[in-house]
Structures are given as structure tokens and as C-alpha cells.
Amino acid sequence: MSRQTKAQKAAAAAQPMMVPSGWMPAPPPPSSNIQRIALSIDETAEASGFSRSTVYEALSTGELKASRRGRKAVILVEEIRRWLVAMTGNAEPVPPPAYTKPGPAPRGRYKDRTEQFRAVMEARKQKP
């Protein structure tokens, strides 16, 4: 008999159960009165409406701060609210920089590869 993980138990609980009258949905999980103060990265993405990659990007740029214990990273709900409020303050779109015509292409020191090869070989000969 193998042990089930939390995800496997949750998946099994969500499956319909067999009753004498036929199939019926499983009862909802018992609700608890505990209010969460920290969310995982996946839960943060779901709660904020952004993708996981956006949450990871905000973490890497320092816009959002997470606490880590081992491999588990959690983000405080207050921190998520602060991040979202800070984003709405910068809701004005920033115009792109004005277009500037590029200057001439830089000219190379050598006219062709043969000259460059000879210069490199001469430099190697001069080194002891």
C-alpha cells in the first residue's frame, strides 16, 4: 500500500463517488475559518490574474519579495497587494523613445581577411 500525496488526495476527493442511486459529485471540502497570510507562487499567479512567468519576473526584478524555506517560496498577501497597487500607480503608458537615424556603419581596420591574418601572425611572432 503506497502513501498518497496531498495532490493525489485532492484529485481523489474531486472525483465523483458511487452511491446506490448512481453517480453524484463529491461533497465540497470542509471550509476552514483560517485566513491565509502567504501564498505560493502558483496561488499568487492565480489570485492576481497574472501568469507564473510574470510573477517570477517580478520576483527577479525585486518588485515582489518572497520568503523561502527550503524549496518552498511564499509571498505575503500584503506584499501582493502592495505590488498590485504600485502597478496601478504606473498605469500611464510610457511613449517609446523618438526614432533616430542610425549613423554610418563603422569602418573596419582591415580591408580584407588576408590583411587581418597577416597582422595576427606578425603579432604572434613578436611575442616571446
> pLDDT digits over 11-68, tens only?
776 665 555 555 556 666 666 677 888 999 999 999 999 999 999 999 999 999 999 8
Architecture (CATH level 2) of domain 35-88: Orthogonal Bundle (1.10)
- Is the pLDDT score of 110 beyond 80? no
The neighbour count for residue 99, using CB atoms within 10 Å, is 6
Residue ranges per structural domain of the chain: 35-88
Per the confidence metrics, is the pTM higher than 0.85?
A: no
